[in-house]
């Protein structure tokens, strides 16, 4: 059973919690994290979700992600999720998300990491992940079109790849 902190519309913890699967009341939100691990040549590690996993079973997704547990910061949740799901250690303690996308009941924080990773050495969480591979932006967009990838907006994928080396909204 997962317990999540509840945040208000200004992303301030309210002191309340909610159990995963419970209904949010009006003006209650939670934090979800996504970690996108990139190679120096600009490809992203993507993971294939287990066929028995709730929510997009068998589809490919970004490197790792999930909800922040009660008491965790966004950075702690991101580091935990990427380690649990694919066995990659990321020190995100001094990082802010590259960007955040608001959704109906929460805040999606996206962390972008560049590293040289031997994916054959990753330890996959059997309950969540069945495979990993490297993919380019074009390959991911094709997979979305073919309904083989979680149906992110095409522009979101473009932002992930575009912002890896450039924080902020301006092309400087």
- Residue-range domain boundaries for the chain: 31-163
d(CA 167, CA 78): 18
Helices marked H in the chain — which ranges? Answer: 74-86, 137-145, 154-163
- What DSSP state is assigned to residue 14? E
Would you give per-residue pLDDT tens digits along the chain (172 residues)? Answer: 899 999 999 999 999 999 999 999 999 999 999 999 999 999 999 999 999 998 999 999 999 999 999 999 999 999 999 999 999 999 999 999 999 999 999 999 999 999 999 999 999 999 999 999 999 999 999 999 999 999 999 999 999 999 998 888 888 7
d(CA 40, CA 36): 13
Backbone angles phi, psi at 147, to 5 degrees: 60, 35
User: What Rg value do the Cα atoms of the chain yield, rounded?
Assistant: 16
Tracing tokens 């095409």 back to the chain, one arrives at 154
Model's pTM, two decimal places? 0.95
Please, what CATH class does the domain formed by 31-163 belong to? alpha beta
d(CA 40, CA 116): 7
């Amino acid at each position: 059973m997962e317990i999540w902190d509840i945040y208000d519309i200004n992303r301030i913890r309210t002191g309340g919690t909610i159990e995963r699967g419970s209904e949010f009341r009006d003006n209650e939100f939670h934090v979800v994290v996504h970690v996108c691990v990139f190679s120096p040549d600009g490809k992203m590690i993507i993971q294939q979700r287990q066929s028995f996993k709730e929510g997009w079973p068998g589809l490919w997704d970004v490197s790792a992600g999930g909800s922040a547990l009660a008491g965790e910061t966004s950075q702690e949740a991101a580091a935990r999720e990427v380690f649990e799901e694919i066995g990659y250690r990321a020190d995100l303690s001094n990082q802010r998300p590259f960007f955040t996308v608001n959704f109906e009941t929460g805040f999606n924080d996206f962390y972008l990491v560049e590293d040289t990773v031997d994916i054959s050495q990753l330890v996959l969480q059997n309950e969540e992940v069945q495979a990993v591979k490297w993919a380019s932006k074009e390959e991911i967009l094709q997979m979305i079109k073919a309904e083989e990838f979680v149906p992110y907006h095409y522009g979101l994928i473009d932002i992930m790849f575009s912002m890896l080396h450039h924080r902020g909204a301006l092309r400087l």
